[in-house]
Structure 1
């Protein structure tokens, strides 16, 4: 019989490992951007399409994936996802045309879609409602940690082996991680716990395996809270994904850095994002205690961080000093991950208990529509204007507008449908 604390810690560790791999794979194209353009003769606009292809398929795959996770549970669905995305990542290293590259990136987006809805469901399964802020911050920290590691590590791999080897090596590593997740993680009904531990994580109503089916899933869209989370997450991910996909290339093109220096410089903002996730988790739980509301505590943190993202992006775009720009960008990425942690913690605060993954995936769908638009819009703006400044200002505006959507659109939890309660 395991202790609840042991299970919680192992679950979070596994989510961080799989999440770091997830973001290493996502970051590979942005790190190898210049080398691929030179080798394959692609324009900035073409690269924008490649960078956004992942996000379009990832966003669309979010719509069914949440319900599948709620039905078939995290252990099976994330194992399948890791294997799928690892094969797709390896295929990216074997492409010989823009069309085949787009196809591989689309497959990568589909494969990676279970990661964060799975993480939200795992936290919901293993932690009580009022204490989900910190574990949400921990699993969410994998995204900036993986993104921080990617530029220096993948840049060294790039200059040593070439860009194709980067993708193949990551694909092989992913298959080992899939085995690790399947071997080590268990769903709550597969673990022997004491009655006291089971009472801590008990749901307020019976927990059937199914989430209520397509009809019940569709009822989520009848609630204003659902739409507020869709459009609220849009601007947060838009601005974050702008930096995620273009930062190394921005540092080279606009700030005059070479591949190695830009790789190590890009490490700093994303490591700040890692710290932001850890800070946000505890802060979110504290705000819940101060406000007496899980919804307000999670929401206010998200809104404040999103306005901060926009505020620091403006000087990041306009200052001449590379050091000052990097400081501002670091502040943006720090706050972007505070906002993301708040958004994911908000999911379990407003979702019906058996639809946490479903609502998380729906919110993520809205976010990654923004994530899909950000790289292609940025690529074409830079191609047309010769400057990253207007692209960054568009991102700041998107984050500000979406913060207002969270403020006025997300007010109360979603009442579970009769099918879930029965």
Structure 2
């Protein structure tokens, strides 16, 4: 019989809320540093005189870097230990990749295409590694019964970071001129430095022990953040066992296809608004992030709903919704309709990622949480890395930057990917039921 447990947000300890706030702010910075390059797609293409397929190749190289260190970094993190120790990986990672991003703001260091790409690859190596570590850290400071809510709230930082990337890019181009577009890279490190100093001091064994005692005393389930075995070769055996988990493997495939959609929209939409809709570089950067407004709402609603109706059912609904909304860009032939379709797309565009991570956390062995999240993240970034090259090629084959046909093909290909991801969930196993009483 299912166990009924109270999981009121009013009963959540302050340490959980503080950790969520810190990890949420880290996630905003991570999203900003990734997405800012996509917002500047037309500007960078113009500055370096890149065609559609050339820009797609550049973006692919930069985005695939996100996938390279996720699994080995996650395994290292799990082997060292979870809970309060996880911050020891977050702090240097965040400071490292935001510092590299800061350096890429100087024209003397990123003045040619090769050095610019190298610096952005360096940023994404750290940002990709940091994602599963940050997701695991969030999950390990919250009771299991509220994992969906915590990861959903955490992930609202991504659409906020994406939205900030559009706002800041538009502001910099408007105020300082398009020749000074690199100024956008100065933002993240300035915020990260004091935040990481605070987090390094706050994340302690004493605090997380007190938190777990409080969670258990209130009838909820504390996370299991015990370190993995240190036996030689055990980490790789854990990785293989985690990869063979049917739910994790299928959800990784779902994640990859969905990221083709998400990254595809980020590649296609700024270029579409600039070259087809006739907006300026600043306007196209700003208008391409309208979907993040409803993305924030979606990340609060759908992950919380997945705690009640199940992860699989929620992901199927979101996948069908995403397919329909991306396909609807075909009918969006005015700026008003483009805004409406963006808002509809946004309701699910960002919502699925915390659910994917919740599936990984639910399905993995306690000592392999970050490893499972690393598998999800790697699949996501492979899809995200392939998307720019795919979309750039489709636009080029359709006639280039200024021809509508290529963009239309992109929208329908993305809709097909979203539908394919939803179909994968039909073959996943239903997890054991656990009724949760929500008193928030």
User: Which TM-score applies when normalising by structure 2?
Assistant: 0.84
CA distance in 1: counterparts of 2:210 and 2:129, whole angstroms: 26
1:7-86 equivalence runs, <5 A: 7-72=15-80, 73-86=85-98
1:232-263 per-residue CA deviation (whole Å, 9 max, x = no partner) reads 11111111111234433322122221233334
1:84-142 per-residue CA deviation (whole Å, 9 max, x = no partner) reads 21122124333132222222222112110233312332233222222211111101111
The answer to whether residue 262 in structure 2 is matched with residue 254 in structure 1 is no
Q: Which residue of 2 aligns with 1:264?
A: 286
Q: Which residue of 2 aligns with 1:301?
A: 314
1:158-206 per-residue CA deviation (whole Å, 9 max, x = no partner) reads 33231122123434443344334323334677554584435544357x8
Q: Which residue of 1 aligns with 2:297?
A: 275
Match of 1:319 among 329, 332, 353: 332
Q: Which residue of 2 aligns with 1:106?
A: 121
Matched length: 401
- Shift, 1:363, TM fit: 1.2
- Shift, 1:209, TM fit: 5.3
Match of 1:149 among 146, 152, 164: 164
The answer to whether residue 424 in structure 2 is matched with residue 402 in structure 1 is no
The answer to whether residue 372 in structure 2 is matched with residue 355 in structure 1 is no
The answer to whether residue 218 in structure 2 is matched with residue 182 in structure 1 is no
CA distance in 1: counterparts of 2:205 and 2:113, whole angstroms: 41
- Structure 1 pair 61/167, CA: closer, same or farther in 2 (3 Å)? same
- Structure 1 pair 252/344, CA: closer, same or farther in 2 (3 Å)? same
Q: Which residue of 2 aligns with 1:293?
A: none
SS of the equivalent of 2:15 reads helix
- Structure 1 pair 187/122, CA: closer, same or farther in 2 (3 Å)? farther
CA distance in 2: counterparts of 1:186 and 1:323, whole angstroms: 50
CA distance in 1: counterparts of 2:53 and 2:289, whole angstroms: 25
Moved more, 55-64 or 261-270: 261-270
1:186-205 equivalence runs, <5 A: 186=204, 191-193=209-211, 195-197=213-215, 200-203=220-223
1:216-235 equivalence runs, <5 A: 216-235=238-257
- Shift, 1:79, TM fit: 1.0
- Structure 1 pair 187/279, CA: closer, same or farther in 2 (3 Å)? farther
Q: Which residue of 2 aligns with 1:367?
A: 380
CA distance in 2: counterparts of 1:38 and 1:59, whole angstroms: 27
- 8 Å CA contact 1:242, 1:374 repeated in 2: yes
CA distance in 2: counterparts of 1:45 and 1:358, whole angstroms: 34
Moved more, 235-244 or 7-16: 235-244
Q: Alpha carbon RMSD of aligned pairs, Å? A: 2.4
- Structure 1 pair 19/203, CA: closer, same or farther in 2 (3 Å)? closer
CA distance in 1: counterparts of 2:158 and 2:130, whole angstroms: 11
- 8 Å CA contact 2:238, 2:368 repeated in 1: no
SS of the equivalent of 1:255 reads coil
In structure 1, the gaps of 5 or more residues are 288-296, 414-422
Moved more, 389-398 or 252-261: 252-261
User: Which TM-score applies when normalising by structure 1?
Assistant: 0.87
CA distance in 1: counterparts of 2:246 and 2:168, whole angstroms: 43
